[in-house]
Amino acid sequence: MPKEIPVEPAAALARAKVTFSDIPVCDYDEPIAEERERRGDANLREILRHMLLVREFETMLASYKSTGAYRGIEFAYKGPAHLSIGQEGAAVGAALALSPDDHIFGSHRSHGEFIAKGLSAIATLDETALDAIMDEHQHGALRDTVKAHLGGDGKVLAENFLLLGVLAEIFMRANGFNGGMGGSMHAFFPPFGAYPNNALVSGSSAIATGAALYKKLADKPGIAVANIGDGATGCGVTWEAMNFAAMAQYDTLWSDPRGGRPPVLFFCNNNFYGMGGQTSGETMGWERLSRLGAGVNPEQMHAETVDGTNPLAVADAVARKRELLLEGKGPALLDVQCYRSTGHSTTDANAYRSRDELKAWAEHDPIVKFAATLTAAGVMSEAEVDAMRESVGDTIGAVTRAAVDPAIAPIVDVPNDPTLIGDLMFNHEAIDLPEAEVPVLKPPAQVANFKSIGRKARFGLDDEGRPLSGMRAITLRDGLTEAVLHHMLHDESLIAYGEDVREWGGAYGVYRGLSDIFPHQRLFNAPISEAAIVSTAVGYAMEGGRALVELMYTDFLGRAGDEVFNQMAKWQGMSAGQLKVPVVLRLSVGSKYGAQHSQDWSAFVTHVPGLKVVYPATPYDAKGLLASALSSNDPVVFFESQRIYDQVEVFRAEGVPSEYFRIPLGQPDIKRLGNDVTVLTIGPSLYPAMAAAEELATQGIETEVIDARTLVPFDYDPVLSSVKKTGHLVVVTEAAERGSFAMTLSANVARFGFSDLKAPPRVLGSPNWIVPGAEMESTFFPQAHDIVDLVTTEFFPARRANRRGVRSWDDIDLARRAL
């Protein structure tokens, strides 16, 4: 189907002007009398108290980093302390305008935001709700500890719970909010709307956008906030996320009941510096950060620059943006100016700024200014301010005394349970799919591609054993399509997106026909933003959705490196299993187009803990394994080889079932039996291995071919049993040999099957140089004759055949030459 929106030359080429509207800068001008009227004096005093709590909490951390003690309590804190001293007006002001249903996603410098959000949630929630939250978390264990050692009732208890939970987490103790697996830069507590902080600059921008997308599609209350710095505006993913949140299609093409754009606020804590790089005047060209919005959409992201030294100005701006977001008019951008008066970290020598600058900003310290405003207006006396300071100090002192004490905040006991951390990486859960089908635009039976699939043979060989063409029998592509169709039909929380997935049906046609069945909000064309594609999926999943996303070529993985390796892979572990990240990332491995479009990068993803990794090679396996991946509550990376999308089923005489089925992840599959040599293959290497096995059989060598199918998890038993019988192993992969997963497989079989091996196991992969063009590929990717050459020359030299491949090189020599 062609696009619904025509591109009209007359409109595109007509003479016109693009205009911009003015961007407000520090526009807040509310008399304090009005604020007293609106908020009440008690609440204004609470704003000061919250800022003081954040300040004292971070002062305590600073004191540990510089002196090893705070209020006489000694402790060696070894973790990071990116403090936001001077920026409390931004954190507390924002929290004031947010409800517990609004979810904030932070940065490396987000202790203040977390605490402020928690305090604001505690102020908002009634005691029954707070009790329920504390009762549920760790089955009430943290609440009981707080009660026993810090005391308090109602909201006081809840505040102590918040402060001990976050401090124990910063100290990476077992009863920290995230079981000690997050720490200073990653702490979070969803019941208060405080979602993960992120050690990667701008890591939260696309995650928050995905969270907002979930709120929109699942019609959940509240907004998502990406708390990022000014330096973060130099990160590609920030731009990708802002655009992703602003795509026109939400208005022009989507038909979800709520409508509008994802409610996400990009809240830039603009402290004018990265670590030492100055954003205004040195590393960025924007001059005013709020200018960025004008490049994103006609609404200019409703961007404003705000005086972040005044919590009331921040609260006012956030409240106004929040309203726009809830009306579907997002995304919004706030440039919140809040000078950081201490170092980036406690090792910061402050060499990059002058004493005069620091002194000038000291006069704009948010706490000093706000206390002065309140006393001048008669909201409280100076003596009351002092008493408040003292009481806050006592609170933080008591919490600190508890947190440093291993009897109260126990150290994570890894020696007692050596795989404790490992056990938190995966939940190994699979969902059940409801019987009922979701509403569709058109039933699959009426869609051309599914009619065509319906006419195909389910087995790929004819009566004489000759392969049928992909037009006449189910292909690997069709197997994938059927699995996706079934999940999309039965799981409304699943959305699928990537580049060109609708009209093209994905660059290789795996989604062909699906755009006739599913509306845009279930299946949509994403911008060419690989980082945002992956990280929005992570945010979407963290909130409770499920996402199927894809990169057109595995070679583009680098563009989503952080998003796959740090975000998708790690949040289950860093949340001690509290978060689930059911994301399936399809990666298509290319061929024929040379060095930047043909690489098998499975080694990168298998290397990073936290990802399950699948690489099927047959239509049956592709369908059953993708069904398992889509049912999994763990993140899965799913490799597909472009060379075998048209491959028909040649192994399973019963054919590929047209019904839905799952193949458990982790089971290698014996594709051919033999007694003399075991060939373990990864992905499409199965086919040259089968051809080699046929040829070796003519020489009297019987090959057992095992298809790895899944790389993580991996069950070694079938391979070890095979090697027990054959005594020989070759692992074949299209990945470059050095550092490949095949090397891991080979090393482990050498170790566990040592006594059964008659020769060292061999890896046959691609050489450690660039993938050449189509006509040279047969000299590069392992071919059947390369496998035959290897087996005959190395394992059965007596039956030596003529070598036909080009691999006569000396690997030791190549290594010396960086190859």
Partner 1 sequence: MTSILVPQLGNEITEAEVTEWLVGEGDEVKEGDLVVVITTTKMAMEIEAPASGKLTKLSAEEGDLVEVGAVLGEIG
Ligand X SMILES: Cc1ncc(C[n+]2csc(CCOP(=O)(O)OP(=O)(O)O)c2C)c(N)n1
Residues forming the site for partner 1 (CB under 8 A):
448-449, 451-452, 455, 469-472, 475, 477, 508-509, 512, 645-646
Applying CB under 6 A, does 273 fall inside the site for ligand X? Answer: yes
Least separation, in Å, of the C-beta of 271 and ligand X?
5
Indicate which of ligand X, partner 1, Mg ion, none lies near residue 137 (CB less than 5 to 8 Å, by partner kind): none
Instruction: Please choose which of ligand X, Mg ion, partner 1, none residue 200 contacts, taking the beta carbon within 5 to 8 angstroms, the exact cut-off set by kind.
Output: ligand X
**Partner whose binding site includes residue 232, from partner 1, Mg ion, ligand X, none (CB under 5 to 8 Å by kind):** ligand X
Residue 751 CA to residue 782 CA, distance in Å, equals 25
Contacting range for Mg ion; rule: CB under 5 A; set: 39-47, 265-273, 632-640, 774-782: 265-273
Q: What DSSP character marks residue 619?
A: H
Q: Does 230 bind ligand X (CB under 6 A)?
A: yes
Instruction: Report the C-alpha gap between 734 and 687 in whole angstroms.
Output: 12
Residue closer to ligand X, measured from CB, 201 or 732: 201
Phi, psi of 275 (to 5 degrees): -80, -60
Q: What is the CA 404 to chain-centroid distance, rounded?
A: 32
Cα separation, 785 vs 795, in Å, equals: 15
Taking CB under 6 A as the criterion, the residue among 104, 200, 585, 605 binding ligand X is 200
230 scored as a contact of Mg ion (CB under 5 A): yes
What would the x/- binding string for ligand X be over residues 93 to 112, using CB under 6 A? --------------xxx---
State the Cα–Cα distance between residues 245 and 322, nearest whole angstrom. 15
Nearer to Mg ion, 230 or 789 (CB): 230
- 593 burial class (0-12, 13-18, 19+ CB within 10 angstroms)? middle
Site for ligand X in 325-354 (CB under 6 A): 344
Binding-site member from 232, 296, 480, 663 for ligand X (CB under 6 A): 232
Number of helices (H), then strands (E), belonging to the chain: the values are 28, 20
Q: Which is nearer to partner 1, 273 or 508 (CB)?
A: 508
Q: Taking CB within 5 to 8 Å according to partner kind, which of Mg ion, ligand X, partner 1, none is near residue 109?
A: ligand X
677 binds, among ligand X, partner 1, Mg ion, none (CB under 5 to 8 A by kind): none
**Segment lying near ligand X (by CB under 6 A), choices 270-278, 395-403, 639-647, 730-738:** 270-278
Q: Two tokens at 584?
A: 């399936």
Which structure tokens are listed for 70? Answer: 């705070």
Catalytic residue from among 50, 111, 597, 785: 597
Using the minimum distance from each CB to partner 1, give the nearer residue, 391 or 452. Answer: 452
Helix segments in 699-804, DSSP class H: 717-726, 741-752, 784-790
Q: Nearer Cβ to partner 1, position 260 or 467?
A: 467
Are residues 323 and 329 in contact, defined by beta-carbon separation less than 8 angstroms?
no
User: What are the backbone angles phi and psi of residue 420, rounded to the nearest 5°?
Assistant: -50, -45
Q: 523 φ, ψ to 5°?
A: -145, 115
Given ligand X, Mg ion, partner 1, none, residue 275, with its beta carbon under 5 to 8 Å by kind, binds ligand X
Structure tokens at 163: 């402060």
- SS3 (DSSP) at 304: strand
- Closest to partner 1 by CB, 483 vs 696, is 483
Q: How far is the CB of 273 from ligand X (least distance, A)?
A: 6
- Written as one string, the DSSP assignment of 440-464 is -SS-GGGSHHHHHHHHSBSSSB-TT
Q: How many CB atoms lie within 10 A of CB 323?
A: 13
What amino acid is encoded at 409 in this protein? Answer: A
Name the residue number minimizing CB distance to ligand X. 229
Listed residue (333, 340, 281, 338) closest to 307, CA to CA: 338
User: Which amino acid is located at 119 in the chain?
Assistant: L
Q: Which of 231, 479, 573, 610 touches ligand X (CB under 6 A)? A: 231
3-state class (DSSP) for residue 34: helix
Instruction: Verify whether residue 302 is a known catalytic residue.
Output: no
Please identify, using beta-carbon distances, which residue of 232 and 629 lies nearer to ligand X.
232
| Under 8 Å between Cβ of 167 and 174 | no
Question: How far apart are alpha carbons 733 and 603 in whole angstroms?
Answer: 10
Q: Is 229 in the site for ligand X (CB under 6 A)?
A: yes
Residue 199 binds which of Mg ion, partner 1, ligand X, none (CB < 5-8 A, kind-dependent) = ligand X
207 lies in the binding site for ligand X (CB under 6 A): no
Q: Which does 311 bind (CB under 5 to 8 A by kind): Mg ion, ligand X, partner 1, none?
A: none
Subset of residues 231 to 250 that bind Mg ion, contact rule: CB under 5 A = 231
Asked whether position 201 contacts ligand X by CB under 6 A, the answer is: yes
What residues have CB less than 8 Å from 486, skipping those under 6 apart?
A: 433, 627, 660
- The span of 193-201, 246-254, 324-332, 369-377 binding ligand X (CB under 6 A) equals 193-201
Contact 635, 582 (CB under 8 A): yes
Residue 259 sits at the vertex; the CA angle it makes with 217 and 195, to the nearest 5 degrees, is 40
Q: Choose the contact partner of 622 out of ligand X, Mg ion, partner 1, none; CB within 5 to 8 A by kind.
A: none
The catalytic residue positions are 597
Residues of this chain that interact with ligand X (CB under 6 A) are: 107-109, 199-201, 229-232, 269, 271, 273-275, 344
Residues of this chain that interact with Mg ion (CB under 5 A) are: 229-231, 271, 273
